[in-house]
Amino acid sequence: MSSTTLDYKKKDFVSDQEVRWCPGCGDYAILNGVQQAFAGLGVAKEKFVVVSGIGCSSRFPYYMNTYGFHTIHGRAPAVASGVKIANPELDVWVITGDGDALSIGGNHLIHAMRRNLDIKVLLFNNRIYGLTKGQYSPTTVPGMKTPSTPYGSLDAPFNPIAVALGAGAGFVARTVDTQIPHLRGIVEAAHKHKGFAFVEILQNCVIFNDGAFDHVAAKDVRDDRQVDLRPGQPLLYGKDLEKGLRITPDDIEVCAPEEATLWHSDGGTGASAFRLCQRPELGEIPVPIGIFRQVERPVLEEQIHAQITAATRDLGEGTLESLLGAGETWSVE
């Protein structure tokens, strides 16, 4: 295929299906950002497979003009694993939500992370069950009143970034639904990473959890309440990047920009990533977005196919004849 045919526009990734999210849903912005990003990845359109589970976010594949697979609740990473192992040439993306990925599908998510298949997971975290009308989710802030927690939620929530770091995901990042240039950049970086990539997208649910991330993502606080983790760059934030963060052995402190810690996402600061992601969102330290970790390690489907190649080289390609002739046989005349 010539390179000109890969010169896609965003509209090439827009399907003919009517989008049915609630007006004002953060998913619209994410869809827009992902379509823009896909157009620029240099991958033939037919190679994309977008796999989802169940939930509002999981309607996503219907709106992408690619191969799309809307599976069942929680199972998208397992389906995607089968897709990628069977055909490693495909560009496999999983779209999931906080309930889908961290509750009913938690097992599949952590095992896909540990195995390090070259698949990309975009988790839309709105901290609520939207499609089933507003129950608390595994990322809901404690105390929140929902239909299933009329006296306030008691469950301690998961921190998706901490889960991903703990389960060994090679690429771990966070972005925000409405910050489309940042989202595009993260999607591109995830794609570039060879191996499993996990992206948490902070997403607003206008109906059941409106403003859940206003303290992080609202335009008027964003500059002071977010710090973008950029590999190889100092930890700076503020409107004019006039503030810095310094990571010490005992603490994380606000400091002058020239004293800010240089962010290494490639392994050396694994512990820092873990500490950073778990700081209270309303504390002094801003909420980190960007790339927490970016470490390459052997990719499962490549290793599987390498074993097959080696066995075929050593034993010869198995045929129907060799299959039937195997084992200790005897003849009856």
Partner 1 sequence: MPKEIPLQQLEEVIIRFAGDSGDGMQLTGNQFTNTAALLGNDLATFPDYPAEIRAPVGTLFGVSGFQVRLSSQEIHTPGDAPDVLVAMNPAALKTNIEDLKEGGMLIVNTGNFGPRDLDKARYEENPLDDPQLEERYQVVAIDLNEATLKAVEGSGLSNKDALRCKNMIALGMLSHAYSRPLEGTEEWLKQKFANKPAVLDANLRALHAGADIADNTELFRVRYQVPRATLPAGTYRNIMGNQALAMGLVAGAKLAELKLFYGSYPITPASDVLHALSRYKNYGVLTFQAEDEIAAVTSAIGASYTGALGVTGTSGPGVALKSEAIGLAVMLELPLVVVDVQRAGPSTGLPTKTEQADLLQAVFGRNSEAPLPVIAPSSPADCFEAAIEAVRIAVTYMTPVMLLSDGYLGNGAEPFRVPAAADLKPFPVRHAETVEGFQPYARDPQTLARPWAVPGTPGLEHRIGGLEKAENTGNVSYDPENHERMVETRERKVMGVAASYAPTAVHGDAEGDVCVLGWGSTFGAIRGAVDRARKAGLKVGQVHLRNVWPLPNDLREVLSGFRRVLVPELNRGQLNRLIRSEYLIDTVSLPKVQGRPFQSSELLQRIEALCGQEATR
CA neighbours within 13 Å on the CB side: how many for 41? 26
Number of residues binding to partner 1, judged by CB under 8 A: 62
Residue whose entry in the numeric block shows the structure tokens 């240099």? 42
Figure out which of the listed residues 29, 31, 34, 51 binds partner 1, where binding follows CB under 8 A: 51
Which are the contacts of 315, defined by CB distance < 8 A and separation ≥ 6?
A: none
Q: Cβ closer to partner 1: 10 or 70?
A: 70
**Among residues 295, 303, 307, which one has the least CA distance to residue 195?**
295
Binding of partner 1 by 321 (CB under 8 A): yes
Q: Cβ closer to partner 1: 111 or 279?
A: 111
Binding of partner 1 by 261 (CB under 8 A): no
- How many Å apart are CA 197 and CA 190, to the nearest integer? 6
Q: How far is the CB of 87 from partner 1 (least distance, A)?
A: 4
| Burial (CB count <10 Å: 0-12, 13-18, 19+), residue 15 | middle
Structure-token pair, residue 141: 């802030």
In degrees to the nearest 10, what's the CA dihedral of 127, 188, 222, 99? 0
Q: How far is the CB of 327 from partner 1 (least distance, A)?
A: 4
Structure-token pair, residue 90: 């495909």
Binding of partner 1 by 80 (CB under 8 A): yes
Figure out which of the listed residues 25, 56, 78, 273 binds partner 1, where binding follows CB under 8 A: 78
Q: How far is the CB of 109 from partner 1 (least distance, A)?
A: 10
Site string for partner 1, 103-142 (x = CB under 8 A): ----xx--x-------------------------------
Figure out which of the listed residues 36, 81, 140, 153 binds partner 1, where binding follows CB under 8 A: 81
**Among residues 108, 107, 153, which one has the least CA distance to residue 128?**
153
Contact set with partner 1 (CB under 8 A): 15, 17, 44-49, 51-52, 54, 61-62, 64-72, 75, 78-87, 89-90, 107-108, 111, 304, 307-308, 310-312, 314-321, 323-325, 327-333
